[in-house]
Amino acid sequence: MQKRLPKFRRVPEGFTQKRITDRGGLILETIGKYRFVTTSDVVRLAFGNEDVTYRHLQQLYHQDLISRVALPKNGSRGEFIYFLDNVPALRELVRNSRLNGSCFDWNLIKTNRQKYRNPDIGQFLFINHELMISHFRSGLEIGCRDSAGRVEFSDWLQGSGTWGKAIASPKKTLHHRPDAFFSLRFPNAPEGQQRSNFFYEADRQTSNLTRFKEKLETHLLFLMQGKHKQYGVQKIRAVLVETLKKDWAVQLKSVAGQLAVLYSLAAHLFWFTSSEELAEIDFFSPHWTCCADERKRSILD
């Protein structure tokens, strides 16, 4: 009978003869593209058999190529959350294999080492916001992958790479910091209609409506002042706002309605949905609404 391995203590001696296969490399590259990512999303993103993915995750953990943590959920331990924090080991692997080093943000991995190598659970309580972004991104990636070439996913940016400013008045500058920017490309569409660009906001109901209104107004001013062209695009299709619950999404949409009285652009710019609804139906189905009307929209529209 195979001996059960510890979940939170590495046993490297059990894996000294195990080499990193192409599948293990794909899993490393997948984790490298996401700051933090859950087991379920790794399984969805990495092709192939689910049990094989689990075995590779176990091997990579015990070989100290990935790290993991599990946060409490509903009174018990939640699923593993994976991240990278071992720069020397990963650099050596990149040098000696076909691993794609461009998937790794070395500064971020170094920071993870400093902050999260031996943390207490309290240091990870911020992580739910990061996971919400990661889960949305994985939905995009998988939806595009399953579209048989109809839609392609590109240009994902998050973190400091998205930071900008909007001018509210001669004495007031607003910081524009969306959770992400991304583009979808439609290869079969007519020329000039092949790309849609979006900002994305993950709202975990931690901010009041007044602060949320200022966030939306910052988006409006940023676009009206043409600052979005720093992304190399001429137009933003929509600002997507995902929040946790359907009833809160309705309240956030009402804030956009207040702004639409002052800025007509707001009526069609801000699209809202909830994590509840995203989990219920196909990712690209129409489940986004704006305050201009009650029609459901798809980000493929």
Domain spans of the chain? 12-124, 131-280
Q: Tell me the pTM.
A: 0.91
For the cut 50, the answer to whether the pLDDT of residue 1 exceeds it is no
28, 101 contact by CB (below 8 A): no
Instruction: Supply 62's token pair.
Output: 């015990």
Name which of 128, 204, 188 is nearest 152 in CA terms: 188
pLDDT, residue 119, reads: 65
Instruction: Report the mean per-residue pLDDT for the chain.
Output: 91
What would the pLDDT profile of 96-110 be if each residue is shown by its tens digit? 988 999 999 999 999
The CATH number of domain 131-280 is 3.40.1350: yes
What would the pLDDT profile of 21-50 be if each residue is shown by its tens digit? 999 999 999 999 998 999 999 999 988 889
Q: Which CATH class is domain 12-124?
A: mainly alpha
Higher pLDDT, 213 or 98: 213
List % helix, strand, coil for the chain (3-state, nearest 5): 45, 20, 35
Single-letter amino acid, residue 295: R
What would the pLDDT profile of 74-131 be if each residue is shown by its tens digit? 777 789 999 999 999 999 999 998 899 999 999 999 999 988 877 666 667 678 899 9
For the cut 80, the answer to whether the pLDDT of residue 227 exceeds it is yes
pLDDT, residue 76, reads: 74
179, 201 contact by CB (below 8 A): yes
Share of the chain above pLDDT 70, in %: 97
Of the candidate ranges 10-19, 149-158, 240-249, the one whose mean pLDDT is the lowest: 10-19
pLDDT, residue 121, reads: 64
